[in-house]
Structure 1
Amino acid sequence: MPTIALPHRTCITSPTRVVQLEYPTDGSGPLPKPQAEGAHWTRFVLLSDTHTQRCDVPDGDVLLHSGDLTQRGTLKELKSTMEWLYALPHRVKIIIAGNHDSVVHREWYDANWQDLFVYRPSDGPEPAEAVLELLKGPQAVAANVVYLEDEEYKFKVRDGGKEWSVYGSPLSPYWGDWAFGYERKDGEALISKIPKTDILLTHGPPRNILDLTIQKERAGCSALAAGLYKLKPKLHVFGHIHEARGAYVHRWKRDSDQLPRAQNAIQLQIDKKPSADEEEEEVWSDSDDESGSELDDGIVLSDPEPEQETQTDDAVEGPEETIFVNAANWPSGPNARRSGMRVKMGGQGFQPIIVDLLE
């Protein structure tokens, strides 16, 4: 199967959704939420992989954070991130953990805390009660923060408005010995427990969708990719693979349950000469034996004009469409430098992605 090369875009629009991947940093900010008589839109602001750092976050109705709240997985780091999230103005803030958030994954943490490469304030493990207080305590509730760990949540952002459903899971296939990991052979059983919702929030990506690493390995979960045909969320938000940050809109076909391969075009420059910042030649490989045919078996540009910044699609979509967003904010890969300077966390090219959906 050919790989769809996703060209650089700042915005993807249609009559029912607007996805803003980049917007001005000079104070003018992102485009306003669409306005039309009799129509109601919900604005989702997407974060992932902030790793205890803070960045400018646009206002919106709903904040979604797809995990890796911390870097070393300590209680101190978690407290810092949660205080930042508490202060944000969004009506609803839904978060999950990720593989870096070891203090949140108590089963893993209790078995491994002595081996963690972190600076601990004491000789003992950090208390689970303090973690739960930060994630689900009175301050979190007052700040409209909802922490999900393999569970569903429903909400409205206005009286009489649409009831949105979201399922959040911190799990991702083992990529080294990290928290919230699972063996790939167990993926199908885990994914089968996910209910059909409007929004799917996972830390790890599905296989072949914005999951390409710097080492050219596809780190996503095959079971998750296979299960999405039944789930068909309107919006699937993930992170984990920083360098693959981006968005892809997929229209499901009744006669096909298979997702395509979709990666950022800048990551698919197979014959690109290494830059001064790259220490060695890029090598193409797969992370395991699930890959099927080679990644570079064919590349198809998803747009005949890859240089354009905004794609407009005037066709009205039905419900069988999924917006896939790798919302990683931590700069990595070929987009991590602008004008010779390294981009800061949440900076240009790694800003919080904004998705406006028509109710």
Structure 2
Amino acid sequence: MATTFLILSDTHDDAFPGPASLPSKVDVVIYCGDLTMIGGLSNYKKFIDVSLDRKWWQDNLIEEEDDPEEPAQALADGRTFTIYASPYAPEFNGYVFAYGPDEDRFGPGAEHPISEGVDIVMTHGSPLLPSQDYVLDVNRQGNHCGCPILYDAIYQARPKLHCFGHIHEGYGV
């Protein structure tokens, strides 16, 4: 059975795509970071879907608007996959979860390395591929902002999917 994914990133409070631009049905939504501008519970409450917490959903649903079986429908078909997720990105303008150019967050020597055989890798930062033809990590100034160490770890792990955000100029690809 095919699994469809919707991959989003960097909506920063209000840059969420219009509903007409999104697929009508997806199986899995993956969000690769920067949901809000500054974080905090008040910012997240508008965006986070709590329906996957079955007990919370049952205790808090609005009967005339919400389907009491929604959590079960979301999880019941038995498909599984493994995910490695990391909020880290190369240091850039003093943002959070930054690491230096020589710091290995992903390889075999890292505290939490990307495992071989993982199905999906989600990172906020992008990899830096050896090819200069690659443009998903290029900023407005034309600089490559990706991470060669992340690329090496992805190359070793060979996930079925690597999704990331952070560089707004690469949106929609």
TM-score computed with the length of structure 1 as normaliser: 0.36
1:67 aligned to which of 8, 28, 33? 33
Partner SS, residue 45 of structure 1: strand
Contiguous gaps of at least 5 residues in structure 2: 61-69
The 2-side partners of 1:165 and 1:234 are apart by 10
- Write the letter of the residue equivalent to 2:12: H
Identity %: 34
Cα offset, 1:138, TM superposition? 4.3
Bigger RCO of structures 1 and 2 (CA < 8 A, at least 6 apart): 1
Do the aligned residues in 1 keep the contact of 2:127 with 2:137 (CA within 8 Å)? yes
Q: Which residue of 2 aligns with 1:221?
A: 147
The 1-side partners of 2:12 and 2:156 are apart by 32
Which runs of structure 2 are paired with 1:240-319 in the superposition (5 Å)? 240-247=166-173
- Write the letter of the residue equivalent to 1:158: D
CA offsets 1:106-149 (integer angstroms, 9 cap, x no match): xxxxxxxxxxxxxxxxxxxxxxxxxxxxx9x946xx986xxxxx
Partner SS, residue 184 of structure 1: coil
The 2-side partners of 1:232 and 1:224 are apart by 12
Q: Which residue of 2 aligns with 1:201?
A: 122
In the alignment, structure 1 residue 45 sits paired with structure 2 residue 6: yes
1:172 aligned to which of 86, 89, 92? 89
The 1-side partners of 2:76 and 2:149 are apart by 32
- Write the letter of the residue equivalent to 1:65: Y
Partner SS, residue 6 of structure 2: strand
Contiguous gaps of at least 5 residues in structure 1: 1-39, 93-134, 145-155, 248-359
Cα offset, 1:191, TM superposition? 3.2
1:77 aligned to which of 40, 43, 47? 43
The 2-side partners of 1:75 and 1:232 are apart by 35
Do the aligned residues in 2 keep the contact of 1:164 with 1:198 (CA within 8 Å)? yes
CA offsets 1:299-324 (integer angstroms, 9 cap, x no match): xxxxxxxxxxxxxxxxxxxxxxxxxx
The 1-side partners of 2:85 and 2:76 are apart by 18
The 1-side partners of 2:94 and 2:41 are apart by 19
Alignment size in residue pairs: 143
Q: 1:171 to 1:205 in 2, by over 3 A?
A: same
The 2-side partners of 1:74 and 1:157 are apart by 31
The 2-side partners of 1:202 and 1:138 are apart by 28
The 2-side partners of 1:157 and 1:43 are apart by 16
Between stretches 42-51 and 190-199, larger displacement belongs to 190-199
CA offsets 1:226-273 (integer angstroms, 9 cap, x no match): 1222111111110000111244xxxxxxxxxxxxxxxxxxxxxxxxxx
Do the aligned residues in 1 keep the contact of 2:90 with 2:100 (CA within 8 Å)? yes
- Write the letter of the residue equivalent to 1:239: G
Cα offset, 1:74, TM superposition? 3.4
Q: Which residue of 1 aligns with 2:64?
A: none
Do the aligned residues in 2 keep the contact of 1:61 with 1:157 (CA within 8 Å)? no
Q: Which residue of 1 aligns with 2:158?
A: 232
Do the aligned residues in 2 keep the contact of 1:212 with 1:243 (CA within 8 Å)? yes
TM-score computed with the length of structure 2 as normaliser: 0.71
Cα offset, 1:200, TM superposition? 0.5
Larger Rg: 1
Partner SS, residue 126 of structure 2: coil
Do the aligned residues in 2 keep the contact of 1:201 with 1:237 (CA within 8 Å)? yes
RMSD, aligned CA: 2.7
Cα offset, 1:63, TM superposition? 0.6
The 2-side partners of 1:77 and 1:245 are apart by 22
More strand by share: 1
